[in-house]
A and B are shown apart, each in its own frame.
Chain A
Amino acid sequence: MKPSHLTALVLLAVIVIVGVGSHLLGIRLYDRIATNLMISLVLVVGLQTFMGNSGLLSFAHIGFMGLGAYTSAVLTIPSQMKGMALPDLYPFLAGVEVSPLLAMLAGGLVAAAVAAAIAYPLMRLSDAAAVITSFALLVVLYTVMNNWSALTNGPRTLFGLPRTTDLPTAASVAVLAVIAALVFKESRTGKLLRASREDEVAAAALGANIPLLRWRAFILAAFLAGVGGSLWGHFITSFSPKAFYLKETFLIVTMLVVGGANTVTGAVVGTVLITVAYEALRGTEGLLNATSFGAGQVIGLTEIVLALAMIAVMILKPGGIFPTREIGDILARLRARKETRS
């Protein structure tokens, strides 16, 4: 078996085991966590397609998730509820009501289209300037979502999305996202992009059109973010623009970076690890608040611990847990070593 196929197999097995495992346990809380994990997986793997291959950190990812979620919301909220949920909606959209699956696709496409339209000039930047402008892009997207009341109900909570995302749907989308990321990584664009990550000057000298390559990866990442956002919207059913800002950005960047941004394996492993840690910490925080010995609410503890973990990982293993090789390559190597020894 080819190492890349082995990688795909192992990663899909992880998704299936998490999905089926939480289902077999039959605890509803675990079902919720597992669904959340699958949605995060779509987002983190999406971010990996851009960040892992181009080597540029992108903060705008969550903004595109928001675009997907809102697109899907406008398209799927039942028309009799739209008057209440979105009072200022443009009349031509008021009667629109499509199936959530179609809306999910639309969410991804809208996010991808927006990314395609605005990101090209940004892809010419490298290093810190690229990171900073992606951060600015996040703020722009947030500002727009927060103020375009006609489509998003402004800073207020938008409600009324049909609850159609369950564990099997989320898991299937996660499977597709992982496959897309693996295929993209081995595609011509992916390979050239990784060459540019290692050495920009050399890759350009070999004829790689770096902005164009990055642009393609960015669009794919935005598409996956949009799909993930729509999936999340139909899971949580009511949200406000605050859901698509720094806190969530921090969380998915942590997931990707702890696992290892350069590999899809890293994205998957990081998502699973951080989701488990996050839920455990949230639980502890809730417990502390419930027993409430002494002063006030405990908030921010989860983020503090995650931030410390992130700094620790960066110091000890700057590339994350899987810095360069996919799990398939590692297993293939192990097998080859065993064969030469015997």
Chain B
Amino acid sequence: MAFAIQFVIDVLSLGGAYALMALGLVIIYGILRLVNFAYGELIMVAGYTLYLTGGSGLPWIVTAVLALIMAVVFGIFTDYAAFRPVRAKSVTAVLITSFAFSNLLQNAALLFISPRPRYVPLPEVFSQTVTIAGAVTPVRNLLTIAASIVLLAAVAFLMRKTTLGIAMRAAASNFTMARMLGVPANLIISLAFALSGFLAGVVGILWIGRIGTVVPGIGLEPLLVAFIATVIGGMRSLPGAVIGGFLLAFIDTTLNYTLSQDLLKFRDAFTFGLVILILLWRPDGLIKGPASGQRT
């Protein structure tokens, strides 16, 4: 019983984080049909903001808010630096600029901060554990679950009920038509990047809560997770991204518990192997998104 609870909490907390990461990526992809390679660096930005403001004596919650703000600012900045100038050109061009931009940010962190890991001050709550029905669980896992539930609900509400969300979804299904109906395209795109940055910031704080340090390459693993979750989920569908995130967490956690020590080192290889099998069965992912309109 304790094991079952442990397993469920592990899957839900990892899956919640994965789902938020995937959601941040898919919001951009849904509207612009563009993959943001610099998404992982938003997590890095949030991490370094926590590190740099950590010594200032501000309460932790203030530094966390600052980290979120910086992630949002850099999200919008990504749009201006890497996407807007080449948006109308080929898909490959944008993939490459965002890849280059991600490299740029990473190497800027290398050059101006340090290649070595930096410890990030974290409040007590991230290192405490609680016991639920015999299962010992870090509180941060419960925090992750709570944060993901709240944010997923908030994003769902935003997308379904508010004008902004409806405009975003309209832009995602047919960009040109949405513009003709008076949706301000550039504003919507910038807001999508801001939302994506916000999600990345939250994920960044939760992610760094797990590992405690920040390095320039910290964004790679979350980025990869988000990538794979969105591919499984169906690239353009928001619920798909969430389902993909939880499914990936389920695969990862199961492998964690079942693989022997020797094979555990190859876990990533197994996970992606399974992903390839899923794609063999459903090349478009699990859930089909809105009918794909032409990108402007």
Contact = CB atoms under 8 A, between A and B. Distances in A.
B275 A136 contact: yes
Contacts of B276: 118, 121-122, 133
Contact of A310 (B91, B100, B220, B280): B100
A132 B81 CA distance: 22
Nearest to B92: A57
A30 interface: no
Interface in B61-114: 81-82, 85-86, 89-97, 99-101, 103-104, 106-108, 110-111
Contact of A250 (B92, B99, B266): B99
Given A298-B111, A300-B107, A143 B90 contact: no
Interface stretch (B44-52, B181-189, B222-230): B222-230
A307 B95 contact: no
Interface residues of B, number: 48
B35 A132 contact: yes
B214 interface: no
A257 B89 CA distance: 14
Interface residues of A, number: 42
Contacts of A143: 265-266, 268-269
Contacts, number: 130
B224 A307 contact: no
17 contacts: A124-B283, A128-B35, A128-B91, A129-B235, A129-B285, A132-B230, A135-B224, A139-B224, A140-B272, A147-B266, A257-B96, A301-B111, A304-B104, A304-B111, A306-B100, A311-B85, A314-B97
A151 B184 CA distance: 57
Nearest to A301: B111
A314 B101 CA distance: 12
B89 A133 contact: no
Contact of B283 (A125, A250, A315): A125
Contacts of B97: 310-311, 314-315
B35 A131 contact: yes
Interface of B: 29, 33-35, 81-82, 85-86, 89-97, 99-101, 103-104, 106-108, 110-111, 115, 220, 224, 227-228, 230-231, 235, 265-266, 268-269, 272-273, 275-277, 279-280, 283, 285
Task: Give the interface centre of A55, A147, A253, A314 by most chain B CB atoms within 10 Å.
Answer: A314
Contacts of B235: 128-129
B268 A318 contact: no
Contacts of A122: 276, 279
A27 interface: no
A45 B115 CA distance: 32
Given A122-B279, A136-B227, A298-B111, A311 B273 contact: no
A177 to B, nearest CB: 22
Given A128-B35, A310-B97, A304 B228 contact: no
Given A139-B224, A300-B111, A311-B97, A318 B90 contact: yes
Contacts of A276: none
Where chain A touches its partner, the secondary structure class is: helix
A144 interface: yes
A204 interface: no
A299 interface: yes
A300 B279 contact: no
Contacts of A300: 106-108, 110-111
A314 B96 contact: yes
A314 B272 CA distance: 31
A127 interface: yes
Contacts of A124: 279, 283
Given A121-B280, A128-B29, A304-B104, A57 B95 contact: yes
A133 B92 contact: no
Contacts of B91: 127-128
A255 to B, nearest CB: 12
Given A57-B96, A135-B224, A311 B272 contact: no
A8 to B, nearest CB: 26
Given A121-B277, A136-B224, A306-B103, 12 more contacts: A121-B276, A128-B34, A129-B231, A135-B227, A136-B272, A300-B106, A301-B107, A303-B106, A304-B104, A308-B100, A310-B97, A319-B90
A267 B79 CA distance: 29
A69 interface: no
Interface in A271-327: 298-301, 303-304, 306-308, 310-311, 314-315, 318-319
Nearest to A142: B268
7 closest residue pairs by CB, A with B: A300-B107, A300-B110, A307-B104, A121-B280, A318-B93, A147-B265, A310-B100
Contacts of B272: 136-137, 139-140
A300 B275 CA distance: 34
A39 B273 CA distance: 30
A131 B268 CA distance: 18
